[in-house]
Chains A and B, each alone.
Chain A
Amino acid sequence: MTHTVLRTPKPLLGLTAERRYRFIYKPVVFLACLIPLAWMTCSLFGWLGCSVAVDPVKFLERRCGKTALNLIMLTLMVTPVRHLARLPNLLRLRRMLGLFAFFYVLLHFTVYVALDLDFDWHMVGADILKRPYITVGFSALLLLIPLAMTSTNRMMRRLGRRWSRLHRLLYLIAALAVWHFYWQEKIDERTPLTYAAVLAILLAYRLARSKRVRPMLAGAYARLHGLIGSSGLPRRTSDCLVPTKAAGCDTDQPP
């Protein structure tokens, strides 16, 4: 097994990969990202047979928050999926997912300020300062702003290498978001803990691939291999670790 051969893209409707993403996949993902918003709107006004939430404000607040968190997780899944499924072009969808995450975070905050707290800025301030879970959530929102602002092609070019370093902030943001979710839970923490576990896997994947950690893992693997012999373990260390540069993945930036 070797990773050096890139799959040749199958022609779909005779379009190149770039055009397929531009004219088919991107619009589809764009519309899919709007589904939660459409659903919330229909529920709020009782349209299209959507059930009406008894507590519309909390419903909107939770839905926006959860959607934002889901989109952050999806954004972080792009890299592992494109490696493991060898779909390098998935990268073309990542910016949109990230920006939609930011959109739902803003909506979440707007619902909280405008509908939940009725524009009581005194209460907003008190919440942010006094309630640790809101402090954490608000920090995540603030940290997302520079990422959204530097999401244009021009900013990517201008920042060069620094762009990838800056956008690693998303790891921290995701952790803050899960923490925010965990802390607001009254007693049943199963869902936030599931998110935490998924995030841990996503971050561990990156750690395992980092230039500093990878040689250590390879060494550990070799030692393990030596200890238990060849049975059941692949022969070459390169096979057991995630596909690396050879898979054409060296061009991607974080997250």
Chain B
Amino acid sequence: MTTRIPRIAPSEITPQEVYFNRRAFLTGVAAAAAGAALGRAAAAVVPAGSGAPLACTFDGAESVGALVHAPDQNEKPNTWYQITHFNNYYEFGTSKTDPAEYAGRLQTRPWSITVAGEAQRTGTFALEDFLKPYALEERIYRFRCVEAWSMVIPWVGIPLAAMLKRLEPTSRARYVAFESLYRPGQMPGQKVPILSWPYREGLRIDEAMNPLAFMVVGLYGRVLPNQNGAPLRLIVPWKYGFKGIKAIVRITFTETQPPTTWSRARPDYYGFYANVNPNVPTPGWSQESELRIGNPFFHQRQKTLMFNGYGEEVAYLYKGMNLREHF
């Protein structure tokens, strides 16, 4: 396993403008000035009233594979508005704008994380204590949804590997499973049984230990908005977005492959691995290309890259596997 130095450091990419919302852009400048020097990518995009600034490091050498260079693609990060007003988060409703509208009522403090299964350090931890040992990093990742749209997003968080190693998984831990919050009172979408709640996801332990897998607590140098999965969510940039489970309350190390929400809901459409793969279509639609959010509307489509462009970093994980079978 090699750790690659990013071909473009996150600090080199600065969003040049906010496409549509000039007012948010102007107040954003004031907010960014107030939060001086916190979150380089936050410059000029974060509207007033968004989350508190986070102290994070922007050391490109520390932050592996920030944005993998993809010359054919638009690498400009999406705006705060685009990232926070176009979400698939069925706990708040199935429309893309439901999460922005309804996630505000979710109470993310206090929050606790339960660790269970094949690990030495199990138990229930307050989120603050759980996150204390780690320095935060910013990573600009491409994000590819299984619905064939994509964004580029500057996350703030902690490498998943560091977090899991601290929990000291035993040799029997072959998978790691994650579970979301179940709180229908504050998550109105959970009253509708379109998926089996709570949401569940999982990774093979070697996937979870890959340096690219990331536990996210922030966006654009700010505390993560609720609609993006606050207070703690997963990002696995070489996999389809639905692997990135939000509002995590439970981490379990298991010996066998854990059940995951979408692969149970429609096993013909969604698999456990869910690696971005232009050669394997989802039965309903092609995965060869994607609509890049933020591209001009007359030229929004771009080619999809194998493993979402992170092949050099992750392809070794799937050596010898038939990815058509294990989609």
Contact = CB atoms under 8 A, between A and B. Distances in A.
A52, A183, A184: most-surrounded residue (chain B CB, <10 A):
A52
B291 A58 contact: yes
A155 interface: no
B301 A183 contact: no
Given A133-B284, A183-B284, A188 B94 contact: yes
Interface residues of B, number: 29
Interface stretch (B78-86, B220-228, B229-237, B306-314): B78-86
Interface in A139-189: 183-184, 186-188
A46 B298 contact: no
A56 interface: yes
B291 A55 contact: yes
Interface string B79-99: 001100110001000101000
A81 B286 CA distance: 42
B48 interface: no
B62 to A, nearest CB: 32
A54 B85 contact: yes
A54, A55, A120, A123: most-surrounded residue (chain B CB, <10 A):
A54
Interface in B278-298: 284-286, 288-289, 291, 293, 297-298
Mostly, the A contact residues are helix
Contacts of B20: 46, 52
Nearest to B22: A46
Interface stretch (A25-33, A111-119, A222-230, A240-248): A111-119
Contacts of B265: 187
A55, A127, A131: most-surrounded residue (chain B CB, <10 A):
A55
Contact of B82 (A54, A58, A114, A188): A54
A87 B207 CA distance: 67
A57, A115, A126, A133: most-surrounded residue (chain B CB, <10 A):
A57
* Size class of the A contact interface (CB-based, 8 Å): 20 to 34
A55 B286 contact: no
A15 to B, nearest CB: 44
B297 A118 contact: no
A187 B266 CA distance: 8
Contacts of B149: 55, 58
B195 interface: yes
B299 interface: yes
Given A44-B297, A58-B149, A187 B195 contact: yes
Given A54-B81, A58-B149, A187-B266, A115 B285 contact: no
A55 B298 contact: no
Given A133-B284, A187-B265, A187-B266, A115 B300 contact: yes
B194 interface: yes
Contacts of B82: 54
B147 interface: yes
Mostly, the B contact residues are loop
Contacts of B192: 188
A225 B86 CA distance: 57
Contacts of A187: 94, 194-195, 265-266
B169 to A, nearest CB: 33
A48 to B, nearest CB: 14
A59 to B, nearest CB: 9
Given A52-B20, A54-B86, A55-B96, A184 B301 contact: no
A60 B73 CA distance: 23
A50 B181 CA distance: 34
Interface string A42-80: 001010000010111110100000000000000000000
A117 B86 contact: no
Contacts of B90: 188
Contact of A131 (B96, B285, B299): B285
A188 B286 CA distance: 20
A147 to B, nearest CB: 29
Interface in B252-271: 265-266, 269
Given A54-B82, A133-B284, A187-B265, A117 B94 contact: no
Closest 9 CB pairs of A and B: A54-B86, A56-B297, A188-B94, A52-B20, A118-B301, A54-B82, A57-B300, A188-B194, A187-B194
Given A55-B86, A55-B293, 16 more contacts: A52-B21, A54-B96, A54-B293, A58-B149, A58-B291, A115-B297, A115-B298, A116-B301, A117-B301, A118-B301, A120-B301, A123-B288, A127-B286, A131-B285, A133-B284, A186-B269
Interface of B: 20-21, 81-82, 85-86, 90, 94, 96, 147, 149, 192, 194-195, 265-266, 269, 284-286, 288-289, 291, 293, 297-301
10 contacts: A52-B20, A54-B86, A54-B96, A56-B297, A56-B300, A57-B300, A115-B297, A115-B300, A123-B286, A126-B286
